[in-house]
Structure 1
Amino acid sequence: MAEWLDEWLRMKARDIEATSIHGYRKSLIHVYDMLGHVRLQDLTEDMVQDCVDRMVAQGRRRSGTPGTRLAVSTVQHAIDRFRQALARAVTRKLIPENPAKFVRVSLVDRKADRRERRREKPWTVTEVQLFIKGIQDDRLHAPLLLSLMGLRPAEVCGLRWSDVDLTLGTLETVSTRTMVANKTVVEKDTKTEAGERVLPLPQGVWEALRKLRARQAAEKLAAGEAYTDSGFVVVDELGVPVNTRQLREQHAHRLMGELGLRKVRLYDARHSCLTYLANNGVMDHILAAWAGHTNVGFTKKKYVHPDVEDLRAAAVVWDGFHGGETARS
């Protein structure tokens, strides 16, 4: 089984990027451990189901006590990848059918996971607005605003001044700077073709980028030969590019703490942004294009999360309905 997974990952590497392959291999680590020794042709549905149940019950390796419960979402991600690998084995006629086809995390385990695992919610609109107000004097004000208008952290860190038109007020996302295993910086194209997009700049972001451009010119003059003219928008005082870990964990999280706000992933600001756009009448196809997605349904399902305040308007409508009923009675 381990040999086939290795072969499948080599085949996948032809179609997806190195960072994604790293994620695939990481998600399959428990499968390698539990089923890697099994002969591919001997694998049964019961073996796969037992692997899934064991992963849920005692799969955690880090960020907690080894041998404790693994998040159901992590297990589902792993079994999805494993199912794909076995489907390819069926296509190659190495096995007659996919033994993982009907394997799922049990309903009992899914319910237990929802009860026990605390999920950090994206910021509300109020929290986003408080953060924006609190970072106005921060050196990286403009890059943080870019994150708060729906760009991925890797897109923000990969943005070059050549991609920004400060005359027309637009930016183009053509490359990213991401990290593998939170250690190695990788510069690459956007994740998908839809990720290559031109976005108009909101007025506040436009002005913040103008100020950042001027500030960097002054920093370059002051630093002289010590300055690194990398061309990236997000750089430190000496022009050295900032990576995603530095932007989101070292900088954004520090600011969140100083402002007394919940520390959330900077990526989750993307969810808040797209939810706000959806709640304010932006059409679905525009929402997907802004997010850099090809599938409108995916954008709505994964990124639009109305909270209780977003639902308040529905309560007001119900008041009118109930009032009408009372008047008629």
Structure 2
Amino acid sequence: MTDPIKKITLKDGTTRYRFVVDIGRDRETNRRLQKTFTFDTKKEARTEYDKIRHESNTGTYVQPSRMTVSDYLEGWMVGATRELRDSSKRSYRDALRPVHEQLGSMAIQKVTKIDVERMVTWMLTSGRRRGGKPGTGLGPRSVQLTLGRLTAAFEMALAEGMVTRNVAKLVKAPKYERQEPDTWSAAEVRRFLTRAKADRLHAAWRLSLYGLRRGEVVGLRWAEDVDFGSFAKPCLTHKDRWCAPCYGADKPATIQVQQARVLVEGKIHVVPPKSRNGLRKLPLDVAAAQALRSLQVAQAAEKLHAGPAYRDSGYVVVDELGEPVHPEWYSDEFQRLSKRAGVKRIVLHEGRHTALSLMEKAGVPISIVSRWAGHYDTAFTYSTYVHANDEDLKTGTDALGKLYG
């Protein structure tokens, strides 16, 4: 058998050892690819030749490639986020932004564990670009998300034969202790809603504290999503007003959660619920039904007053001219109203945590709490949205006192 390693002499008289091997097929044209290797000594050439042949026979050989990390991530993102909402796609892009900045120009096959470790150190010390003072460190949670996305991408590159190992998998993520969301007590909720009764969007605030997401509240439409049931017409007994005592004798008012208005990279998108369980019809108590009916009547008066300037958008949560409110304005207004009500500061989404926690404490089965929230799993509802505060610990004290006498 002819020795594949050839001795060659260069013009300057230097001796080298060279061989040519098949390295597979081109990913796009399917043509056979060959690569030439040149070494100073025959021993080095023989070692590399045997290594390549062994890897080719066992299917572990990786074709040399100049593809950069950024180029690979762009292709990986297409499949990884294909079925995700725009907001989730944005979270992927945000998580990978430090990777593009620190490793993006490197050939993916050249990235080492040390390179990824350096990126992590940079993120923790000076990787912030927004959401705070630029140039300061990011939190452990942000680093975990970035490292998780990069590990998933490199795992796919490994499966595709682009790299020999997943170096991101070797890097230990910094510890992150999840902060328990803050919630209101039932008394604080009542205090807020009492103050909110004077606000024109009282109905919306009540729905937010019934556990709806921000996007679900500002995405509600009168015609498609609100059914007043018994409130659709005046009570026959009390003639010209919607009757709270008689409410529910026929059928309760309901709202259907069928869409959400969410903010993605500065633009408002109307999207379906996060999952199939997010599509749900929720019955309303008399207070919520009355608040919605009052809002509808108030909007009819505003429309009459504004005349041609009014935009009949069909949404429930609109300004005085019928324009759907901006989601960020809605969150800011919640903060302003909370301050006026004199309750402790929580962010709007913690109102959802508050509602689900209070439902569970009131004895509502977790299966119903989870269905109300639009979750796919009761365990997720329990671990993420049901919280106990210091005041709740007295329940344990009372129970032990009764048990032990």
Give the TM interval when normalised to the shorter protein.
0.7 to 0.9
- C-alpha deviation, 1:75, in angstroms: 1.8
- C-alpha deviation, 1:315, in angstroms: 1.7
- C-alpha deviation, 1:311, in angstroms: 2.0
Question: For 1:146, what is the secondary structure of its paired residue?
Answer: helix
The separation in 1 between residues aligned to 2:122 and 2:402, in whole angstroms, is: 52
Which of 285, 288, 293 is matched with 2:367 structurally?
285
Which whole-Å deviations, capped at 9, do the CAs of 1:29-69 have from their partners, x for residues lacking one? 11211221222223333432332233223322334443323
Question: For 2:168, what is the secondary structure of its paired residue?
Answer: coil
1:101 aligns with 2:169: yes
The separation in 1 between residues aligned to 2:253 and 2:320, in whole angstroms, is: 25
Which residue of structure 2 lines up, in the alignment, with residue 7 of structure 1? 75
- C-alpha deviation, 1:199, in angstroms: 1.0
| Maintained 8 Å contact 2:181/2:353 | no
| Maintained 8 Å contact 2:143/2:174 | no
- C-alpha deviation, 1:119, in angstroms: 7.4
Question: Which amino acid counterpart does residue 391 of structure 2 have in structure 1?
Answer: E
Which residue of structure 2 lines up, in the alignment, with residue 166 of structure 1? 228
**Gap runs ≥5 in structure 1:** 325-329
Which residue of structure 1 lines up, in the alignment, with residue 4 of structure 2? none
Which residue of structure 1 lines up, in the alignment, with residue 351 of structure 2? 269
The separation in 1 between residues aligned to 2:259 and 2:174, in whole angstroms, is: 40
Which whole-Å deviations, capped at 9, do the CAs of 1:197-225 have from their partners, x for residues lacking one? 11111221111111111111111122222
1:48 aligns with 2:110: no
1:298 aligns with 2:359: no
- C-alpha deviation, 1:89, in angstroms: 2.1
| Maintained 8 Å contact 1:86/1:100 | yes
1:252 aligns with 2:252: no
1:236 aligns with 2:297: no
Which residue of structure 2 lines up, in the alignment, with residue 177 of structure 1? 261
Which residue of structure 1 lines up, in the alignment, with residue 282 of structure 2? 199
Which residue of structure 2 lines up, in the alignment, with residue 16 of structure 1? 84
Structure 1 or 2: more helix by fraction: 1
Q: Percent identity?
A: 37
Which residue of structure 2 lines up, in the alignment, with residue 327 of structure 1? none
The separation in 2 between residues aligned to 1:277 and 1:136, in whole angstroms, is: 22
| Maintained 8 Å contact 2:181/2:350 | no
Determine which structure has greater relative contact order: mean sequence separation of CA pairs < 8 Å that are 6+ residues apart, divided by chain length. 1
Which residue of structure 2 lines up, in the alignment, with residue 156 of structure 1? 217
Equivalences, count: 314
Structure 1 residues 40 and 192: CA distance shift in structure 2, 3 A: same
Question: Which amino acid counterpart does residue 175 of structure 1 have in structure 2?
Answer: Q
Which residue of structure 1 lines up, in the alignment, with residue 206 of structure 2? 145
1:128 aligns with 2:189: yes
Q: How does 1:53-72 map to 2 (within 5 A)?
A: 53-72=121-140
TM-score (norm. length: structure 1): 0.88
| Maintained 8 Å contact 1:12/1:21 | no
Question: Which amino acid counterpart does residue 308 of structure 2 have in structure 1?
Answer: E
Structure 1 residues 262 and 28: CA distance shift in structure 2, 3 A: farther
TM-score (norm. length: structure 2): 0.72
The separation in 2 between residues aligned to 1:65 and 1:219, in whole angstroms, is: 43
**Gap runs ≥5 in structure 2:** 1-68, 230-251
Structure 1 residues 90 and 278: CA distance shift in structure 2, 3 A: farther
Question: For 1:310, what is the secondary structure of its paired residue?
Answer: helix
| Maintained 8 Å contact 2:353/2:385 | yes
| Maintained 8 Å contact 1:41/1:94 | yes
Which of 99, 118, 134 is matched with 1:31 structurally?
99
Structure 1 residues 37 and 230: CA distance shift in structure 2, 3 A: same
Question: Which amino acid counterpart does residue 264 of structure 1 have in structure 2?
Answer: I
The separation in 2 between residues aligned to 1:207 and 1:169, in whole angstroms, is: 9
- C-alpha deviation, 1:260, in angstroms: 2.7
Which of 380, 389, 392 is matched with 1:310 structurally?
392
The separation in 1 between residues aligned to 2:137 and 2:180, in whole angstroms, is: 15
| Maintained 8 Å contact 1:53/1:105 | no
Which whole-Å deviations, capped at 9, do the CAs of 1:278-322 have from their partners, x for residues lacking one? 11222222121111111211111111121111222012223345x
